[in-house]
Amino acid sequence: MDDAFLGMGIPTLLLLIIGWLIAGAVAALIAHKRGLNPIVFFLVTAFFLGPLGPGFALLAQPDANPEPAKRKVADGRRRFVCPRCGAENDIPNEDASYNCWRCDEHRKVRPVKALVDAPAGPAE
Ligand SMILES: [Zn+2]
């Protein structure tokens, strides 16, 4: 009685757990190859889907619209996000103000020299 659990012997239970973990590893591998998050698929398969996990990894659609990489700010410019419309404005370092290209909001900004003393972004 002491080596039985839910009517299964310990070896059977171990085999089941190992099989579950292998399914998780396979699902993680498939997910990784398809540009999905392998850790998520491993955990979901190991704890929930079991042998069905690899199938889900095969059917899941990778994110069709991943966030585009942030544009780099060119040398000699700095970036301000317009507080009114959220547009990114890359302005020359020496400029003390700018007009937002999208909504025409006029903003004063600290010149670069002042930023050394207070590196805090756009001035109010
Ligand atoms: Zn704006």
Question: Could you tell me the distance, in angstroms and rounded to a whole number, from the CA of residue 20 to the centre of ligand 1?
Answer: 53
Question: Could you tell me the distance, in angstroms and rounded to a whole number, from the CA of residue 89 to the centre of ligand 1?
Answer: 8
Residues 43 and 90 occupy one common structural domain? no
Number of domains, the chain: 2
Question: Could you tell me the distance, in angstroms and rounded to a whole number, from the CA of residue 91 to the centre of ligand 1?
Answer: 13
Question: Could you tell me the distance, in angstroms and rounded to a whole number, from the CA of residue 76 to the centre of ligand 1?
Answer: 21
The burial of 4, by beta-carbon neighbours within 10 Å (0-12 exposed, 13-18 middle, 19 or more buried), is given as exposed
**Domain span at residue 90?**
77-117
Residues 55 and 9 occupy one common structural domain? yes
Question: Could you tell me the distance, in angstroms and rounded to a whole number, from the CA of residue 118 to the centre of ligand 1?
Answer: 24
Residue 15 sits at the vertex; the CA angle it makes with 13 and 19, to the nearest 5 degrees, is 120
**Per-residue pLDDT reduced to its tens digit, 10-40:** 888 888 888 888 888 999 999 998 888 889 8
Give domain status of residue 50, yes or no. Answer: yes
Give domain status of residue 71, yes or no. Answer: no
**Per-residue pLDDT reduced to its tens digit, 57-72:** 888 877 766 666 777 8
